[in-house]
Structure 1
């Protein structure tokens, strides 16, 4: 068995995706014959969180501990270098395929309170290929008897075809930036400065970012776009639940050089402690959200 479990191929027109049974992650996406996300080999684990579904929190929880409704909870330390818990509880666990078609798959997994979360959550993630791109939906249902906090994020690295990401321009619809301490935990939110503002686009090779921004998308919901010098472009959109977007530009992703992640998130890092945009799911309630990736190639 591969490290990411079963490989689920989806196709609709010129849109093709590969979804993984472990983590319900996005391993590959192509539109119009052009790669739109960074992929990774089937016999490897996802590099630097590539394609992951981050639930019941995205990013970091400081010191792998938090307090909810007066009770202190501890989590497994999964970012050893900083001592934090990172990217939720389900990205390395097997998900069950509950529905499947040529262009669509629904995967499900459960957050177990024994892992350090205040209550159970049943999580379903649906990938749907369409002629214009990929749509991803998440549904979190509280199957317990008490309120449960939650946040959701994903970790796609965008590509504009085969163009070197370092030569591409990244544009992000965001007007605020999160300041962090030396351990990458938020210390405050403020308006972007002209040097930080990505709304006009910046060359990826000129950036060194592991930075959370407050989203300010237009009516089309586009959070970020990566555009090649020849006009090929890949856009990531999200619904109103995605109020934050992480931009990460590692120097080297699995030996392939510079990459750029544009990560939609419902809350910023350490929301379990700060409460910032931490969603509360009532017993029996289902919280839903959608995001997706489309082609914006120049014609």
Structure 2
């Protein structure tokens, strides 16, 4: 029987190994020289906290699962009852198909089923590729239907602190603005980073609790923004995203089932509630495509 997380595709390149699971096109595990880069989960386990999944057609939360687009009011299922939100889109629990595979790369494809709450014709591909400079992930969306559709995408890897506690790690993020939220973790506005939220310089995670988003990423000369996690074992995990990632979410996992076993560092094309607010929302016209690339390397 197929494992709960779907078909397993294992990639390798030198001392780098990654296993992709077809439910949610999830990065289930990734190691370099035997050291975990991401927090793994078992093949026959349901991803505990969206581990490694592709989040589309919206990342993060949608208030009450309700939104209006092109004059229509639409309703998707509320999947986070405690906050009355629809969390992390629709693609993460779908079974993606293997489109192509090689020893070091795989492309998964999904024709997202149209539904009353998202009555659009969206196709997605997610390509994972290992190379000398690390793991690169590229997701491409295409509107296959006759009408415009709303779209956003994000990713949910939990990065490993190695053998030490997360409190012994140091985090740095290239972003200048923080998103303020209410008690449902829905956006209220933005403010310049300060205090524990100013991660432009490396900051210890000792005692720091985060489940927050940042915008205005600071791009390097290659058009990438970066987040860096330094661990006590001397490992440096570097996560990058291209300019289509207009936001980052960081969560230290201070809740049952995760309990600070890793830190979620999530590149996103938009912030929470974009379907309602339109903030950084992508509208794909018929035939339009959108691509976002991001990746990671361990040093």
- What do the CA deviations read for 1:154-203 (whole angstroms, capped 9, x no partner)? 00111254343221111111110111111111011111123320111222
- Cα–Cα, structure 1 residues 80 and 54, in superposed 2: closer, same or farther, change >3 Å? same
> Aligned-pair RMSD on alpha carbons?
1.6
Quote the Cα distance in structure 2 between the aligned partners of 1:68 and 1:285.
17
The equivalent residue for 1:259 is: 262
SS at match of 1:205: coil
Structure-1 residue corresponding to 2:197:
196
Structure 2 CA distance, aligned partners of 1:4 and 1:140? 22
* Mapped partners of 2:228, 2:256: distance in 1: 19
Paired residues of 2:110 and 2:123 also in contact (CA < 8 A): yes
Could you say which residue in structure 1 is the equivalent of 2:218?
A: 216
- Structure-2 change in CA distance of 1:208 and 1:257 (3 Å): closer
Q: Is the CA contact (8 Å cut-off) linking 2:114 and 2:121 kept in structure 1?
A: yes
Structure 2: gaps spanning 5 or more residues: none
**Which segment is superposed worse, 224-233 or 129-138?**
224-233
* Shift in Å, 1:232: 1.2
Report the CA distance between 1:251 and its aligned residue. Answer: 2.9
Distance 1:81 1:114 in 2: 24
Q: SS of the counterpart of 1:123?
A: strand
The 5 Å alignment of 1:25-44 reads: 25-44=26-45
SS of the aligned residue for 1:272 comes to helix
Residue equivalent to 2:241 = 238
Matches within 5 A, 1:77-156: 77-156=78-157
| Structure-1-length-normalised TM-score | 0.94
Are 2:268 and 1:275 aligned?
Answer: no
Structure 1: segments with no counterpart, 5+ residues = none
- For residues 13 and 72 of structure 2, the distance between their equivalents in structure 1, rounded to whole angstroms, comes to 47
After superposition, the C-alpha distances for 1:12-58 in whole angstroms (9 at most, x for unaligned) are 11111010011100011112332111111222111111111100000
Shift of 1:73: 0.4
Please state whether the residue corresponding to 2:64 is helix, strand or coil.
Answer: helix
- The alignment of Structure 1 onto Structure 2 pairs a total of residues equal to 296
